[in-house]
Amino acid sequence: MKNRITLFIFAMMMLFAADTRAAENAADSKKFYEAAVKAQPGNANAHFDLGNVYLMEKRYEDALIHYEKAGRLGLASSRMDSYYFNLSVCYAGLDRMDDAVKSLEECIRINPRHEEARNLLEAYRYKLSP
């Protein structure tokens, strides 16, 4: 029994340490991408990556601004399914469900094998159903 308690405490400490590292890395990433956008405002990837940081923070309006800018600047085609998927999450977070559905449909058109998008689209459609 004592070994189980010790193991449990160790596991909880490891989880806490991982959460702390993730938070520190997110803060570092945010600083890095904010500086990158400031230094290179025409860099689509920097805007996209800063949008990802804001999305993780649930700052949907800020994320949306940077995703849309990345799209206008010509984000690489290899990132377009992620672009539309992330847009949909922002739109849903802002309760713009029709836009969220349209973005997921575009994501799936680009990458028909995007299972997470398919599952989320089903959930969004269910939410919209009367």
CATH of residue 47: 1.25.40.10
pLDDT band at 20 (very low <50, low <70, confident <90, very high): very low
What pTM did the predictor assign?
A: 0.78
Tokens read off for 41? 């405002």
Residue 79 per-residue DSSP state: G
Question: Which residues, including other chains, have CB under 8 Å from residue 75's CB and lie 6 or more apart?
Answer: 44, 45, 48, 83
The number of domains in the chain is: 1
Question: Which residues, including other chains, have CB under 8 Å from residue 36's CB and lie 6 or more apart?
Answer: 43, 46, 49, 50
Tens of pLDDT, residue by residue over 97-118, are: 999 999 999 999 999 999 999 9
Domain range for 35 is 2-128
